[in-house]
Chain A
Amino acid sequence: MTTVATSGLVGTDLGLTPAARHSALDLVPKAEGKQTARDFASAEEVRWCPGCGDYVILATVKSMLPQLGLKRENIVFISGIGCSSRFPYYLETYGVHSIHGRAPTLATGLSVTRPDLSIWVVTGDGDAMSIGGNHLIHALRRNVNMRVLMFNNRIYGLTKGQYSPTSETGKVTKSTPYGSVDAPFNTMSLTVGAEASFVARALDSDRAGLTEVLLAAAQHRGTAFVEILQDCPIFNDGSFDALRKDDAASHLIHVRHGEPIIFGAEGEYCVVKQGFGLGVAKTVDVAPEDIVVHDAYTDDQAYAYALSRLSEQDLTYSVTGIIRAVSRPTYDDGVRTQVEYAKSVTAQDLQETLNGQHTWTVS
């Protein structure tokens, strides 16, 4: 085996600089002309159920992509299995509709070998957090350059209505006629706990809010996890109604970096420190300086975790916006840096490698 002077790699800069100066799009070729949403529509007929939240997400993505100004052929959408995973067929980019739960693995191999691509994983709550849970957490900890859009409808739609790992306890479905006894994941806690460098959430129907997080995710160097809350009108209709009705403002905690976390139609609620974490208080009861100012860029995971715990499975509160966006080394940059380093210090050609140290000649 060839001995590589690996000790030289310890502590070297693996190509990481703060996110503001080092975008995920730096290495992706830019389009020459102006693009429109129509440029990203494929000829394939869209086949989701009428009223499915996926339609509005597709429309938002199509109108967001031109804003990136990337060459269309350098964008790849990779999905797993489930209703959401049909997504790549409807975009005129490169795309792979892979197998259940494994989209992040394909994206990892592609990301390592093709730094010139903007890679998007489209997945659902079952695909990402049940069958593909292992791959999701490992992609997050490695921080591979990819965006993961998880459409969360809290149900298995394509298999016709079984509960998912984000379904609320007690949910009655085809496979849980007496109500589910499973405890659901808190998606934000899970991803923050798995070392995610970018975590955001938006409601499908909130086009402005969704566009904002998608644009930020597109630029994030590392794994950007975006949860999109979405209804399945057939098997889980109205599941996010609490966040859509007239009093939605008192349930949605929308966070924005640098701003105090205040919500409610009149700003009557706010987020304050409470015990080891965060809690909700009435704004009138709190001194202004005690209201938590959102800091998406702090490296301290405890803050993002505390914020994630405000979201409850009964949707009393749901945090939306960019919860966390920090810069840390990405796996694929690291791999490429090592390859470049190895090439710079090892001049050996292949024939020398095959010959090895000890040869003998028969004449």
Chain B
Amino acid sequence: MTQTYDPRAAEPVGSGVTRLDQVVIRIAGDSGDGMQLAGDQFTAEAAAFGNDLATQPSFPAEIRAPQGTLHGVSSFQIQIADFDVLTAGDRPDVLVAMNPAALRANVGDLPRGGILIVNTDEFTKRNLAKAGYDHNPLETADFEDFQVHEIAMATLTAGAVESVGLGRKDAERSKNMFALGVLSWMYGRPLAAIEEFLEQKFAKRPQIAKANILALRAGHNYGETTESFATSFEVAPAALPAGTYRQVTGNTALSYGLLAVAQTSGMEVFLGSYPITPASDILHELSGHKHHGVVTFQAEDEIAAVGAALGASYGGALGVTSTSGPGLALKSEAIGLAVMTELPLLVINVQRGGPSTGLPTKTEQADLLQARFGRNGESPVPVIAPQSPADCFEAALEAARIAITYRTPVILLSDGAIANGSEPWRIPSVAALPPIDPDFAVAPEGESAAGTHQPYARDAETLVRSWAIPGAAGLEHRIGGLEKENGSGNISYTPENHELMTRVRAAKVEGIPVPALEVDDPSDGAEVLLLGWGSSYGPIGEAVRRARLAGYQVARAHLRHLNPLPSNLGEVLGRYRRVLVPEMNLGQLSLLLKAQYDADIQPITKVSGVAFRSDELHEALLAEFAGTLAAHEREKTPASTAAVVVR
């Protein structure tokens, strides 16, 4: 992707319009206030306008927490820019708070001088108390540093939609569209596409459609006619690679990848899944695509989901199961069976905060070691991680290709940030996708191999076993979880055979060819390498850009394959004085690297359930150059233990 990042000061262009290269907007309200819908529509506008963008929703684990409380705050953040953005942004430049709880939960992230738009109608004594305020904070000196716009959104909305004849409560429900109208004016966005969307969405309820459209227009007019806003802003389109784009979330892109696998392999794709946050959207999405050769099965539990997927694979389909960390724990034994039977199986783990139930709606990367080692016995499994929402498409294709070609379970490690985050996706041409060949075994013509077929005979180079599926005459055989005899696949307990088979299974996975790790170092003289994996791709990239602009030489690389690791990794690591590894865990990749390579590995850890901000990583880089990073990392755990409540 072309790097066109060129930070400029905000620059006035003509009367009342200021040009920006990027802006981060966060809208926050009660979980029933329609914040995600308003965010999605602003996203669609920005995408259609040609900005590059990235989004990150945040919602509570409770479906409808008590109204007006901190537990019920839902928010949506978007960064739009005239260059290729990598994240939804660290901190909002503009915060829209629909009630006191939304203000309290989010204002801490708003930098000094930031724009704060509040819906004052909700700032009643009762609502302030629910949010834990004993006074109206907007009336205090604390807020003097912000550009505060107090708007009675509910009242203005009710007035604007009066002609529709809804009750006051229903009328006020359109206030999210009022807020969207204000934002649309601020950033010079036309309303036509949103109006069209609203008409479609509420086609069966024209009154509601009309109310929403009137509220949207009222918000836009409010921006234009009141003196409240001194300026509107312009963010020019970005120069992205040529192609046709759409907006996509990680879970959707991953689902589409599986549809593509059905097409390119000619195999039926069978998804066995049990509902779990934040993976359920994959089940939802695929269940609507039966016409593309995908079957979905909502199982009675996580184990049945993976068992059914493996059963489907046994029959020559591609079995897929989608889950999150607690579900992966339950599936461990069945994944081991897939290792032993050497059948394709794709296990998608959309990671969330753990252990146990943990933080269902928050993100973490702490299942890496579970994916690598979380089974009994020597149980090698390839592991792949997408780096961004749109990248989930390619990652799913790659994971399926390995599973099918090498007859092995593959674990794909997505996470909550990628799953729900969205970004523009350059839509690939289906016709240009490479085919996947399941290479099913067939008996030699005219001969029956019954009784002599060797299901565990292997390709000399790849060590991949022959795969005969039921229906293949003359190749009848039995497989299972007991140790297999080399070649015949019969039960074998002999020591030499177990030693051989254990090493062969490991060698097969270790020998899967993966692309060499590419390093990005424009200076070609960096001494520090920032090495990441998974969803930290975006924040690492932005932190590195900032560091380079500030004159630091930093190299970066990102791992897609966590098992096997690229064969040049040791050589790459050895080139740098120090390797910094940012991870949303307590240093799991670092542990693997330290065990395997002779390099100076320094983890940068975070386990708050919230993705890295690029400024955090930028600061970590500065600390590294100041020689204080290692000490700072070492202090994190003692600082936590010192803060415990003592009994």
Contact = CB atoms under 8 A, between A and B. Distances in A.
A48 interface: no
Interface string A66-84: 0000011110101101000
B484 to A, nearest CB: 11
A356 B255 CA distance: 13
The main secondary structure of chain A at its interface with chain B is: mixed
Nearest to A336: B295
Interface in B216-263: 240-247, 252, 256, 259-260, 263
Interface stretch (A97-105, A149-157, A159-167, A210-218): A97-105
The main secondary structure of chain B at its interface with chain A is: mixed
A7 interface: no
B315 A350 contact: no
Interface stretch (A11-19, A243-251, A321-329, A338-346): A338-346
B481 interface: yes
Contacts of B615: none
B303 A102 contact: yes
B83 interface: no
B337 interface: yes
Contacts of B243: 361-362
B308 A358 contact: no
Contacts of B252: 1
Nearest to A90: B478
A73 B471 contact: yes
A354 B481 contact: no
Contacts of A76: 314, 470
Given A88-B478, A343-B291, A358-B247, A114 B470 contact: yes
Q: Which of A3, A113, A348, A349 has the most CB of B within 10 A?
A: A113
B47 interface: yes
A156 to B, nearest CB: 18
Contacts of A111: 311
A95 B479 CA distance: 6
Contact of B473 (A43, A73, A338): A73
Contact of A135 (B289, B300, B313, B472): B300
Contacts of B304: 102, 104-105, 108, 134-135, 138
A76 B312 CA distance: 13
Contacts of A358: 44, 47-48, 193, 246-247
Contacts of B308: 105-106, 108-109, 112
A274 interface: no
A181 B260 CA distance: 55
B479 A97 contact: yes
A71 B312 CA distance: 20
A335 interface: yes
A15 to B, nearest CB: 15
A134 B300 contact: yes
Given A2-B288, A106-B314, A355-B427, A73 B472 contact: yes
B50 A360 contact: yes
A99 B290 contact: no
B161 interface: no
A107 interface: yes
A359 B244 CA distance: 6
Q: Which of B245, B289, B308, B479 has the most CB of A within 10 A?
A: B308
A89 interface: yes
A289 interface: no
A350 B260 contact: yes
B195 interface: no
Contacts of B604: none
A295 interface: no
Given A94-B470, A338-B290, A43 B451 contact: yes
A353 B256 contact: yes
B301 A351 contact: no
Nearest to B240: A362
Nearest to A114: B315
A117 B473 contact: no
A349 B293 CA distance: 11
Contacts of B334: 99, 102
B491 interface: yes
Chain A to chain B: the 10 pairs with minimum beta-carbon distance, closest first: A97-B480, A105-B307, A109-B311, A106-B311, A109-B308, A109-B312, A342-B290, A95-B478, A138-B300, A346-B291
Given A96-B479, A339-B291, A360-B244, 4 more contacts: A97-B480, A98-B337, A110-B315, A113-B312
30 contacts: A44-B490, A73-B472, A76-B470, A89-B478, A89-B490, A95-B477, A96-B311, A96-B314, A102-B334, A105-B272, A105-B305, A105-B311, A106-B307, A109-B311, A109-B315, A110-B312, A111-B311, A112-B295, A112-B312, A113-B312, A114-B315, A117-B471, A135-B303, A350-B292, A350-B430, A353-B292, A354-B430, A358-B48, A359-B246, A362-B240
